[in-house]
A and B are shown apart, each in its own frame.
Chain A
Amino acid sequence: SQQGEEDPQALSIQEGENATMNCSYKTSINNLQWYRQNSGRGLVHLILIRSNEREKHSGRLRVTLDTSKKSSSLLITASRAADTASYFCATGSYGDGATNKLIFGTGTLLAVQP
Chain B
Amino acid sequence: DTAVSQTPKYLVTQMGNDKSIKCEQNLGHDTMYWYKQDSKKFLKIMFSYNNKELIINETVPNRFSPKSPDKAHLNLHINSLELGDSAVYFCASSQDPPGQGTYSNQPQHFGDGTRLSIL
- Min C-beta distance of A78 to chain B, whole Å: 24
Q: Mark B29-69, 1 if CB is under 8 A from A, else 0.
A: 00000000000111111001010000110000000000000
Cβ < 8 Å to B, chain A residues 72-98 = 86, 88, 92-95, 97-98
Q: How many residues of A contact B (CB 8 A)?
A: 29
Say whether, besides A98-B99, A99-B55, A99-B98, A33 and B107 are in contact (CB < 8 Å): yes
A87 to chain B, nearest CB (A): 11
CB neighbours of B43 from chain A (8 A) = 43, 88, 104
| Residue from the list A40, A45, A98 in contact with B50, Cβ < 8 A | A98
Chain A positions within 8 Å of B113 at CB level: 40-42
Kindly state whether residue A24 has any CB partner on chain B within 8 Å: no
A residues 12-67 touching B (CB-CB < 8 Å): 30-31, 33, 37, 40-45, 48, 50
- Whether A95 touches B107, Cβ cut-off 8 Å, given contacts A42-B90, A86-B41, A88-B43, is no
CA of A51 to CA of B97, assembled, Å: 19
Q: Which residues of B contact A101 (CB under 8 A)?
A: 45, 48, 56, 98, 105
Chain B interface residues (CB < 8 Å from chain A): 4, 40-45, 48, 50, 55-56, 90, 92, 97-100, 103-105, 107-113
Binding site for B on A (CB under 8 A): 2, 30-31, 33, 37, 40-45, 48, 50, 86, 88, 92-95, 97-104, 106-107
**10 tightest CB-CB pairs across the interface, nearest first?**
A92-B105, A42-B110, A100-B98, A45-B107, A104-B43, A100-B99, A98-B99, A43-B110, A98-B97, A42-B112
